[in-house]
Amino acid sequence: MGTNVDLSVQIGNSRLANPVGVASGTFGYGGEYEGLVDFSDIGAIYTKAVTFESRGGNAPPRLVETPSGILNSIGLANVGVEKFISDKMPYLRTLPCAVAVNVAGATEEEYLRVIERLENSCIDDIDTVDTNGSINTSRSGIWGYEVNVSCPNVNHGGLAFGTDPVQVERLTSSLRKLTKKPLIIKLTPNVTDIASIAKAAEAGGADAVSLINTLVGMVIDVKTKKPVLGAKTGGLSGPAVRPVGVALTYKAKRAVSIPVIGMGGITCADDALQYILAGASAVQIGTANFVNPKTAGLVLAGIREYCVNNNVSSLEEISGIID
């Protein structure tokens, strides 16, 4: 039985040490989990969304539990790009794992301004080329970008971009011109044809697509006869959405040749392996981080054990093998 398993993942011109990341909006800016996790177990931190100006987010309540999941309506509350650079990046630069900055905006111009500002913050960093040909941008602290065109709980931008393949391709193409770092487009499940959106991202120059973001949901308090969330609707996540995420990962991978990063309801290695068998090259842990911050490490160990037990030397051997 072989024991040498290559769990690294190529995304664009760079590699992730392993396929298990932590999803945006569930891991803050990394420091919130200091002392709770071994960051070397994490392939990538996908940061809390960053917009050009700071955002206060939606009115409370912002969270409500549902069967096998939660609804959130945070509304992309964040510190804004300048505070992110000055207050968050110094810590993120110290971590041993890759950092993918999640970028959001209300307009195409805002997305462009955020990435342009982040790129300029790295202007003095010298990229080096590793022996495997990958670009190493560890000095800047920014490995790549995950572009949120899929948030279901903001009034402008986000979901509006993510449901229109023409806008997705145009936005991706514009962002592609600003950076050589891995560019990942995060897709919404709230569409009738995920394949067309994934194809649009690929046509625009994306290095990968990640999916799924949360599904739109509502919880009503029958006593008050009002929605529980301050914004009325929110994004559904947790184990309840996993079958949807796996199915859409399967569909997206068969539409594009770029890597697909799967997420939605992953709580253990078997959940992650479903995504990988469906076509994912990597996965992200989301809501499970709130239950057990060490989930990513446990999932990684489980994937490695599965590969050893099944004589799998790399994830490429089993990614997308489902007909």
Residues tagged active-site: 151
DSSP state of 112: H
The rounded distance, in Å, linking the Cα atoms of 257 and 205 is 12
Side-chain-facing half-sphere of 308: CA atoms under 13 Å: 8
The rounded distance, in Å, linking the Cα atoms of 304 and 290 is 23
Which alpha helices (DSSP H) does the chain contain, by range? Answer: 81-83, 89-92, 108-121, 159-162, 165-176, 194-203, 242-253, 269-278, 288-291, 295-309
The rounded distance, in Å, linking the Cα atoms of 19 and 319 is 11
Read off the amino acid at residue 176.
R
Question: Which residues in 30-57 are b (16+ Cβ under 10 Å) and which e?
Answer: beebeeebebebbbbbbbbbbbbeebeb
Read off the amino acid at residue 216.
V
DSSP state of 136: E
Q: Which two tokens stand for residue 295?
A: 């989930």
The rounded distance, in Å, linking the Cα atoms of 142 and 30 is 13
Strand residue runs (E) in the chain: 9-11, 14-16, 20-22, 44-46, 63-66, 69-72, 98-103, 128-129, 135-136, 144-148, 183-186, 208-211, 215-218, 220-221, 226-227, 233-237, 260-263, 282-285
Q: Which two tokens stand for residue 172?
A: 């991706």
